[in-house]
Chain A
Amino acid sequence: MVTMLSLPFVAVVILVCMSLAAMLFKRNMIKIVMAVHVMGSAVNLFLISLGYREGGVAPIFTNSPGGVMVLPAPQALTLTSIVINIAVVALMLSFAVSLYRRYGTMDTRKMRLKG
């Protein structure tokens, strides 16, 4: 049974599968980095949808209007993981740029460690 609330989880699974496939089969370094970022976003989406409660308000107790609140912990986790993800992607892109300068190509098939 697919309700509106389970839609994000379906999207998460599709995004993770897509990015894994891209990492395995794509030869272009930029596309691989994009796949890593998409996977990171998928996991962030997963965390955020875990914490969502239908009709919930922001989890701030002061002057709260009452009623259901969304969970605070997944939001904190997602914030941390976004920052980490950006660091990873930036580092990978800088490697890709340096590799492009050395070899003049983005194709991973044309560069291979020997041995």
Chain B
Amino acid sequence: MMEHAPALVIAFPLFAAFASHLIGRLGSRIRDIWVFASLLLTWLFAVFLNLEVMQRGTYAYTLGADISSLASPAGFPVRIVLVIDGMSALIAFMAVSVTLASFIYSRRFMERVSGGGESADRYCSLVLLFLAGMLGMGLTGDFFTLFVFLEMTSISSASLVAFFRKGSSFEAAFKYMIISAINALFLLFGIGMIYSQYGLLNMAAIANEMVLNFSFLDKVALSLIVSAILLKLGSVPVHMWKVDVYQKVPSSVAVMCITSSLVGIYVLSRILFSVFFSMSALTGWMIVCLGSLSIIVGVSMALPQKDLKRMIAYASIAEIGYVMLGIGTGLAGMSSTFGTVALSGGVFHIINDALDLGLMFLIAGAVFYATGKTGISKLGGIAHRSASLSVLFIIGMLAVSGIPPFNGFVSKLIMYESVFCLNPVLSVIGILGSILMLSVFVKVFASVFLGSPYKGKFREIPLSMTAVMWIFALLIILLGLFPGLALDGLVSPAVEALLGHGIYMGVII
């Protein structure tokens, strides 16, 4: 049973997604228990994968083979192969944990905003499908499966964007669907180009072939694939869909959308580190430039926003920029010490992003739950009605902008120091971005939480939502005070996995 954990961790949410519709007929309480139990089981599988990787190191799982660890019986991989290493296990763990938290949060939240019943069934199965897509993208070892799971996340998240069935949410969903159709087809086009030369789809086997003969067509394919994934994660030249989507999607799903962007970052780094590593200097600089552009544009566009969720969406573009800065520097300085340090900063920032921005979106959702509004100018004086919400906002705000006792500070400091070795201007951009980010959030804090007490109707925020937000906040403080816990336990195996492309190829070939 347990040796099949890599396959089960994807298959189980997929099964639960379709079953939850049927089980929903028995009553909403039974369905909630079912979804919660299946998420918990998936979470246990993800934890098991992490423990297994710690013991065995990188390993492959072949779907449908007699001996699952034997990836290429005839000298080349013939089946679909999942590769589990420090990085992909970390990403899988993160995706499941965030989904679990978002589901606990969403129970009362969705009851209020959608009215339960049939639409709650739809919500549960779409969330589970979304999770299965993200896990598949994280664990897969070949390009075509990557395409399939990418489409799965796109379709399920687009349906979630249109969940409220308003005109504007359909608009955002339509826009998102065009973008994701383009990116999936570009990805498939690039995959076809690679297949035409090597007749292979497995990433590690292709990387092995590319060591000997790297052609011009590979560069074309690289540019197609990278542009497709940049569209998916919403870095700057193609960020326009992201704000609409984050504004319209239910807040509990916005947290998952952030996680799916981070899974996109993982896919980008997996392809650049493990497959196209011979081009690392060029691609590294490209990612660094796009990342710093994202920081500048994201922060400066966040300043004039009038909607709370839209503002946080722009901040999330800037935060994705920080991760790209770290990972790009890791690529550009692949064999040097500062490159490794920057990469570990980038990987640590992936975890921190999910926590910090996740907390901000959950708070925005709680404000919406209590008041029914998200416009910044329509709100004010929330602190008089709910002190705990404003304390949470302060924690999230300081963590996002990288102020000392919180986790954002640790990863950003690691990046400032190491990015400086590549080019001093980059750390100047990073620090400036953080300062501007603080000013944006302070402005919003003042207008939403301070001022004369809020006059309108204020619904009490239920315990399940508050508890989830406090768990996020406690993790933020914990990782800020004891960063070594995450850096040694989760980040350094992930960094080793990304840098060790020899080991990655060795598992398959």
Q: Which residues on A are within 8 Å of B, measured CB to CB?
A: 16, 20, 23, 29, 32, 36, 39-40, 43, 46-47, 50, 71, 73-74, 77, 80-81, 84, 87-88, 91-92, 95-96, 98-99, 102-103, 111-113, 115
Contacts and interface: CB of A to CB of B under 8 A. Distances in A.
Interface stretch (B43-51, B182-190, B341-349, B428-436): B182-190
A1 B148 CA distance: 35
Contacts of A81: 147, 188
A99 B167 contact: yes
A102 B155 contact: no
A88 B177 contact: yes
B interface SS class: helix
Interface in B166-193: 166-168, 170-174, 177-178, 180-182, 184-185, 188-189, 192
A50 B201 CA distance: 14
Contacts of B148: 80, 84
Contacts of B154: 88
A84 B151 contact: yes
Contacts of A47: 188, 192, 195
Contacts of A96: 174
Bin chain B's interface residue count. Answer: 35 or more
B195 A74 contact: yes
Interface of B: 144, 147-148, 151, 154-155, 158-159, 162, 165-168, 170-174, 177-178, 180-182, 184-185, 188-189, 192, 195-196, 199, 201, 243-244, 247-248, 305-307, 310
Given A99-B167, A99-B171, A115-B305, A39 B182 contact: yes
A80 B144 CA distance: 10
Chain A to chain B: the 3 pairs with minimum beta-carbon distance, closest first: A102-B167, A95-B174, A36-B181
28 contacts: A23-B178, A32-B178, A36-B178, A36-B182, A36-B185, A40-B181, A50-B196, A71-B199, A73-B195, A77-B144, A81-B147, A84-B151, A84-B184, A87-B155, A88-B180, A88-B184, A92-B177, A95-B177, A96-B174, A102-B167, A103-B167, A112-B171, A113-B168, A113-B244, A113-B247, A113-B248, A115-B305, A115-B306
